Structure 1
């Protein structure tokens, strides 16, 4: 488990903790519905993508074997309450040593713009590096409705790829971004 505070500047120019964030790896059966609800509320997922996410959630939550995908959950700690603020799902790209794909990043609308997405992506990067990875790929829609998502990933050092990779072909209307990690 990893804990982090997001901070916000007050009117006097000093920083005050805004929210205590608890990051954790993996899913338990009791997390499944909450993850799927957040994904439904936050994302413009196609029916196929939602079905794939649902399959990954159930496999991770109920399977004791090595998971195909890894989930990192972000919970906002507020006394005894710890609502799900966001999550990421990622995994290795089969046959491509050191390459991982970020399948999905979702942050609850109530918790956006305060650093939760960045904290979750930082944790994904730490976990990928610990697993021997050196590159994280993600796919983002080129639709104007996703300008904020593209800007977000670019602000974190993801670079739009101008060439196609045989192991990572985007869906029509999407762009591939990649980030080298150390």
Structure 2
């Protein structure tokens, strides 16, 4: 997956106070997100720090030494039996396209499955700059399920993808 020259990293689930600033920096530096979206990403980490597991937000970080290389935020969807959301997945710009995002996504999928989740939903924009993001999800087995026209702004639709979680190593069927 990840290139042979990949950094030696470890997975971490605990949110540290320093992660709030790191999340802001990474999401802002990606060039994809508006300032209000960057603020939301940081707020989810703040909420996890303040409320712990009752926040409903789970995190996984890829870390090399004291540097966060990428992270994902996900959680169960309130009011559903087996549906989960992937809220954020971001990797450092210099690591894009090297497989770290895919490893993060697969780790989230395994964790969702282990927690009894059956479907993982992701949302993204229809804007052209998000074409690589949509390809990323589709190549990972996510199927588009809905398009909400003009959701983010006029001409900026929300595209919702879903993937059925399965036992690790089993084939996925997005039906």
TM-score normalised according to structure 1 size:
0.79
Matched, 1:23 2:7: no
The one of 135, 139, 148 aligned to 2:132: 148
Based on CA coordinates, which of the two structures has the bigger radius of gyration? 1
CA displacement at 1:122 relative to structure 2: 0.7
Alpha-carbon separation, structure 2, partners of 1:43 and 1:92: 28
The answer to whether the 8 A contact 1:22-1:74 is kept is yes
Cα distance in 2 for residues equivalent to 1:69 and 1:162: 24
1:79-90 matches, within 5 Å, as 81-90=65-74
Structure 1's unaligned 5+ residue stretches are 1-5, 9-15, 165-169
Return the alpha-carbon distance in structure 1 between the equivalents of residues 162 and 46 of structure 2: 28
CA contact (8 A) 2:62 2:68 kept: yes
Contact 1:28 1:62 in 2 (8 A): no
List per-residue Cα deviations over 1:63-104 (Å, max 9, x = no partner). 3452221111112x3xxx342111111111111111011111
**2-structure distance, mates of 1:83, 1:30:** 11
Question: Which structure 2 residue ranges, 5 or more long, are not aligned?
Answer: 167-175
- Range moving further from structure 2, 122-131 or 81-90: 81-90
* Aligned partner of residue 6 in structure 2, secondary structure: strand
* Pairing of 1:1-182 with structure 2 (within 5 A): 7-8=2-3, 16-64=4-52, 66-75=54-63, 77=64, 81-162=65-146, 171=152, 173-182=157-166
Question: What is the aligned partner in structure 2 of residue 3 from structure 1?
Answer: none
Alpha-carbon offset, residue 7 of structure 1: 4.2
Structure 1 runs (4+) greater than 3 angstroms displaced:
62-65
Distance 1:162 1:69 in 2: 24
